[in-house]
């Protein structure tokens, strides 16, 4: 009895399927990646060895752009609603509460706020705005008042957490930073976080020698 | 699926006088394309996780501190770092007075070399009892935010427990400016 001869199979594998999978995954990743939204204020942050990821909820974001202009942004609409009431009362402005809530950041002196809120979102560019005045040599540091308003708004919110983030540009000068820190101190915000890019811990430094878990405490 | 029948049933049985053109396979080797696909995937995965911003925590002391309270640090354990424009760094140890201003006031840089501020901090830290070691950071009005963050970062890199961000005094500011002008 002769054995049935098995036909020789080619060792070539059809790559089409694998290729399909690869590109399916690729398109999945491209589509799900959250691209950085085009920011109204362009800021290049410095880098640090801090390994804690910046919070993205309940934030008060103070931005310093490269010219030292200061902007303030919040994400919580309830807080913004409380803020607009306080500002209207304190400053005798009749701000549109809805427009105030919709605005992602504020970057003008109080006196120009009504006009500022009328600017459509697409046209808001950090370069064209004056920023919140902080230079105490040229006038009052209005950020102190802003932070005061935020402080009151958070106190009345019934124990909401507050994360103060400071996002400064590499090239901004120290006085702006100093003014922001002073404004925070004045309102008893003694803890804040600075947004940075991650950086590797230099080999051989004291932090490098420390066990990993100690780093989290800082 | 996406295969094509290229065997052309019995095409190799050539008749005596019939010369047939060689049939080229229409199959394309997809291996490089798969490679490329996965390469791009890895690229995307890596870039997305890396762009995650980190936060550097800074706790401020209460402003109510009186000047008398601030001077509690031992003179021998104090390292004062001054930041000037164009990434200039200066430092001195202990106190600065008119007699030793020129000899004690030294310049450094942000690198890791012999004259880098990291080496200086590490040296000072090694030579000082841990309880006395305090770094005082005094940025002047012309230094950048990056300089400030860098120097605060040095504090965490070198695990400096006590450091303070203090306004620069007029005398020191003048010294920084004079030294910067002389260095050019």
Distance CA A82, CA B48 (A): 36
Strands B89-93 and B78-83, sheet pairing: antiparallel
Phi, psi for B26 (deg, rounded to 5): -90, 5
Q: Chain A 16-75, CB below 8 Å of chain B: which residues? A: 16-19, 22-23, 25-26, 29-30, 33, 36, 45-55, 64
Number of alpha carbons in the 13 Å side-chain half-sphere of residue A24: 6
CB nearest B34 (choices: A18, A171, A173)? A18
Q: Is the Cβ of A203 closer than 8 Å to some Cβ of chain B?
A: no
Residue B72 pLDDT class (50, 70, 90 cuts): low
* pLDDT (tens digit per residue) in A45-62: 888 887 777 777 788 888
Instruction: Give the C-alpha separation, B129 to A175, whole Å.
Output: 34
This complex has an ipTM of 0.72
* Cβ atoms of A64 and A176 closer than 8 Å: yes
Q: Residues A147-175: what's their mean pLDDT?
A: 82
Distance CA B153, CA A19 (A): 45
**According to DSSP H, which parts of A103-201 are helical?**
113-118, 142-155, 174-186
Please state the rounded mean pLDDT for residues B105-119: 78
pLDDT digits (tens, 9 = 90+) for B75-84: 777 888 888 8
Tokens describing residue B171: 């005398």
A39 Cβ neighbours under 8 A, 6+ residues apart: none
Query: Domain-by-domain residue ranges, chain B?
Result: 73-183
A100 CB burial (10 A radius; 0-12, 13-18, 19+): buried
Over residues A93-137, the pLDDT tens digits come to 777 777 778 777 888 888 787 788 887 777 777 777 787 887 777
Say if pTM beats, i.e. exceeds, 0.80: no
From the list A33, A53, A172, the residue facing B54 with the nearest CB is A53
SS3 call for A138? coil
pLDDT at B8: 47
CATH number for the domain running over B73-183: 3.30.420.270
**pLDDT for B73:** 63
């Amino acid at each position: 009895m002769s054995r049935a001869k098995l036909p020789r199979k080619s060792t070539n594998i059809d790559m089409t399927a694998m290729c399909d999978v690869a590109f399916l995954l690729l398109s999945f990743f491209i589509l799900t990646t959250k691209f950085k939204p085009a920011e109204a204020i362009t800021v290049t942050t410095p880098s640090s060895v801090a390994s804690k990821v910046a919070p993205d909820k309940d934030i008060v974001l103070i931005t310093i752009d490269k010219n030292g202009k200061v902007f303030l942004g919040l994400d919580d609409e309830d807080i913004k609603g409380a803020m607009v009431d306080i500002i209207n009362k304190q400053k005798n402005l009749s701000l549109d509460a809805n427009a105030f809530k919709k605005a992602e950041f504020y970057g003008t002196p109080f006196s120009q706020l009504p006009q500022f809120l009328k600017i459509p979102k697409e046209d808001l560019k950090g370069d064209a705005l004056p920023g919140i005045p902080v230079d105490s040599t040229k006038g009052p540091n209005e950020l102190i008042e802003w932070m005061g308003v935020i402080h009151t708004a958070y106190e009345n919110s019934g124990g909401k957490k507050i994360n103060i983030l400071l996002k400064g540009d590499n090239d901004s000068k120290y006085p702006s930073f100093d003014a922001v820190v002073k404004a925070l101190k004045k309102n008893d915000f003694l803890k804040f976080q600075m947004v940075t890019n991650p950086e590797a811990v230099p080999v051989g430094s004291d932090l490098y020698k420390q066990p990993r878990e100690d780093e989290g405490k800082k | 699926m996406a295969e094509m029948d290229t065997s052309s049933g019995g095409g190799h049985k050539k008749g005596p006088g019939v010369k047939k053109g060689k049939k080229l396979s229409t199959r394309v080797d997809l291996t490089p394309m798969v490679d490329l696909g996965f390469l791009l995937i890895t690229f995307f995965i890596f870039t997305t996780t890396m762009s995650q911003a980190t936060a550097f925590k800074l706790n401020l002391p209460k402003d109510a501190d009186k000047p008398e309270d601030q001077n509690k640090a031992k003179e021998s354990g104090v390292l004062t770092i001054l930041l000037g424009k164009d990434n200039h760094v200066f430092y001195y140890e202990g106190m600065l007075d008119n007699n030793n201003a020129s000899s004690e006031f030294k310049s450094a840089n942000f690198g890791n070399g012999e004259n880098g501020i990291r080496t200086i901090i590490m040296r000072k830290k090694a030579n000082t009892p841990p309880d006395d070691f305090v770094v005082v950071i005094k940025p002047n009005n012309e230094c950048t935010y990056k300089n400030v963050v860098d120097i605060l970062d040095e504090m965490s890199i070198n695990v400096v427990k006590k450091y303070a961000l203090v306004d620069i005094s007029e005398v020191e500011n003048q010294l920084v400016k004079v030294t910067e002008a002389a260095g050019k």
